[in-house]
Amino acid sequence: MSASTDLFARAQRLIPGGVNSPVRAFRSVGGAPFFVKSAQGATLTTADDRALIDFVCTWGPAIHGHNHPVIKAAIAAALEHGTSFGTPNPYEVEMAELIVRFFPSIHKVRMCNSGTEATMSAIRLARGFTKRDKIIKFAGCYHGHSDSLLIKAGSGALTHGNPDSAGVPASFARETIVLPYNDVAALEAAFTANPGQIASVILEPYCGNVGFIMPDAGYLQAVRDVTARHGALLIFDEVMTGFRLARGGVQELEAITPDLTTLGKIIGGGLPVGAFGGRADIMDCLAPRGPVYQAGTLSGNPLAMAAGIASLRLLDELDPYARLDALGARLRDAVKSAAEAKGLPVQVPQRGSMFSIFFNAAPVRDYTTAVQSDAALFKRFFFGCLNDGVYLAPSAYEAGFLSTAHEGSAIDRACEVFTRNLQKL
């Protein structure tokens, strides 16, 4: 019995499904998950001592690769002073200064402990500020597992074929309007049908939880215009894309100014973290200044803040975005070239260090077209790559991620593996 097999058997006796986050269970692709004992650069080392080139990057945070020495040193230095204080600390002030500097739309920011907590809090704040109850989200966009947002979600909910979670009261679901992404007419119609009732529109400006999907030209500006016209707040969920695609996220790339932004992943340098911020008049509605309550014992944790500050400083100093885009383009072109030579229908949307591989003849632009992709073909491709030492997300509906550590031999090897396994399909 392998070490991973033994660990999974033990885990299943004590942990629901044997995992602490559903997509890790491999049910979308079949088989059992492997367990990882260490990670360095672009490589995971499994409990069975297999080395895997990693394109999951801990679902986004590892933009500098795993176990980066600068981030590791920052955590060690912070650890000398303690693990948690339960009081304000200097790190959280520096983190706030960095976020506000990189995101012009954010005038004030509140730290929390996860992306789920950030989006949940941003929705509550939007409702409290506008004194309206309804929100709009988009099919396939995942904003964490809070009740108001786990409706037609992507990511693990989609992977497991159960987009609407049990345990979400129908009364909560009625306050959430779900629309197709990239459909301006549907957005306009929703506001017309619910005059003066919609508090906010929340979206991943570039979708990452139903695979990686880009907006149509002009779509994000149209969403901004519609929300402004109707007095609703626009929330950009940049938990995945913030700092990963540009220092100022998608809103920098697209020159769109949302009212609120949610962040996570990279600002923790690999440790648990989240944040939400935006216009000062909205943020000042939060307790203790305002009536909207939000709290967290570990918010602004010194270890997470130290790791995140180191990660953001590296991005500022190294400005790796052109290099990451070149890596992404090379991967994209290798997959498309090999698929076309084999006559396989494939779409490889890519921007910067994010990408997806959809086995689909048509461009993927929303939830409906994403789920029309050939998941069985992806499963065969996934396991072929895994057997050859390359790890993609174990779902046909997840974005892939690159890091600066993929430069050189890792990207060379990965392109070879992708090409070979596409030729086998």
Q: Distance of alpha carbon 178 from its chain centroid, rounded?
A: 19
Alpha helices in 174-301 (DSSP H): 184-193, 219-230, 249-254, 280-283
- Convert 315-380 into a string of H (helix), E (strand) and C (coil): HHHHCCHHHHHHHHHHHHHHHHHHHHHHCCCCECCEECCEECCECCCCCCCCHHHHCCCCHHHHHH
- Which tokens belong to 200? 């906010």
CB 39 within 8 A of CB 24: no
Surface-to-core class of residue 30, CB atoms within 10 Å of its CB (0-12 exposed, 13-18 middle, 19+ buried)? exposed
- Which tokens belong to 255? 């020159």
- Going from the C-alpha of 288 to that of each of 283, 291, 293, the distances in angstroms are 11, 8, 8
Known catalytic membership, residue 325: no
Question: Rounded to an integer, what distance in angstroms lies between the CA atom of residue 150 and that of residue 302?
Answer: 30
Q: How many other C-beta atoms can be found within 10 angstroms of the C-beta atom of residue 309?
A: 21
Known catalytic membership, residue 164: no
Q: Within 13 Å, how many C-alpha atoms sit on residue 81's CB side?
A: 12
The residue from 54, 237, 366, 374 that is catalytic is: 237
Amino acid, res. 41: G
- Which tokens belong to 391? 């790890």
CB 125 within 8 A of CB 285: yes
- Which tokens belong to 104? 């012009």
Known catalytic membership, residue 152: no
**CB within 8 Å of 369: residues ≥ 6 apart:** 360, 362, 363
CB 59 within 8 A of CB 156: no
The residue from 54, 137, 142, 391 that is catalytic is: 142
The residue from 108, 137, 265, 379 that is catalytic is: 265
Q: How many other C-beta atoms can be found within 10 angstroms of the C-beta atom of residue 403?
A: 26
Question: Rounded to an integer, what distance in angstroms lies between the CA atom of residue 159 and that of residue 397?
Answer: 7
- Positions annotated as catalytic residues are 142, 237, 265
